């Protein structure tokens, strides 16, 4: 498990753990404790912060078990976070960043992002599907005989990505 220490007004420890346990994580409706039905792209458990948990009771239990399992001393698959880099400070009022990473877990189709505040007062755990890195749109007016459309390196093309939903960000 790779731990990233965030800096800024609210220091937190963030962890991404590779999991091969879930499919169909994205785009579902959750019954929240904060006001009824809402559509969320992420399955989240929030404690001690101003965010409603979007996980069902069963999903909440599973996420808790996964978080506990990540603290048992076992060696999970290797993981490299490419973006944001360690120590990045991203203001919450801007658009959410796209997280990019690579891992050694063959066949994983879901990952757990666990952010716990250093003082233990709050925690956010999000089960994410992990998609291929997004490709940017190409402005057709920029294509000419003298330039080429950008092609990512094989490493860049193999990245796994996640962009937090507005509710989670």
Say whether pLDDT at 76 is over 70: no
**DSSP structure string for 93-161:** TSPPPPEEEEE--TT--EEEEEEEETTSS-EEEEEE--EEPPPPP--GGG--TT-------HHHHT-EE
According to the model, what pLDDT value does residue 74 have? Answer: 66
CB 54 within 8 A of CB 44: yes
Q: How far apart are the first and last CA of the chain?
A: 23
**Lowest-confidence region among 61-75, 138-152, 154-168:** 61-75
User: Is the pLDDT higher at 102 or at 147?
Assistant: 102
**Span 87-99, pLDDT tens digits:** 899 898 889 999 9
Top pLDDT among 28 and 137 is at 137
Mean predicted lDDT score pLDDT of the chain:
73
Copy the structure tokens of residue 75.
């060696």
pLDDT of 25 > 50? The answer is no
CA distances from 159 to 9, 28, 103, 140, 153 (A): 30, 24, 9, 26, 10
Q: What is d(CA 14, CA 114) in angstroms, rounded to the nearest whole number? A: 6
Mean pLDDT over 53-61 rounds to 88
Q: Domain coordinates of the chain in residue numbers?
A: 2-162
The SS3 of residue 36 is strand
C-alpha pair distances (Å), 1 with each of 50, 72, 137: 27, 11, 33
Whether residue 69 has pLDDT greater than 80:
no
């Amino acid at each position: 498990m790779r731990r990233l220490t965030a800096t800024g007004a609210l220091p937190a420890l963030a962890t991404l753990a590779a999991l091969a346990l879930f499919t169909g994580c994205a785009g579902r409706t959750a019954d929240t404790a904060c006001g009824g039905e809402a559509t969320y792209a992420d399955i989240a458990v929030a404690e001690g912060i101003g965010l409603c948990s979007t996980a069902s009771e069963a999903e909440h239990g599973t996420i808790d078990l996964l978080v506990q399992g990540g603290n048992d001393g076992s060696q999970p698959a290797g993981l490299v976070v490419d973006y944001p880099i360690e120590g990045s400070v991203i203001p919450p009022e801007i658009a959410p960043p796209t997280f990019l990473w690579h891992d050694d877990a063959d066949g994983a189709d879901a990952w757990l992002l666990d952010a716990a505040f250093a003082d233990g007062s709050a925690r956010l755990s999000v089960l994410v599907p992990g998609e291929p890195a997004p490709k940017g749109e190409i402005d057709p007016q920029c294509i000419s005989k003298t330039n080429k459309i950008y092609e990512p390196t094989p490493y860049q093309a193999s990245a796994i990505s996640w962009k937090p939903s507005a509710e989670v960000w």
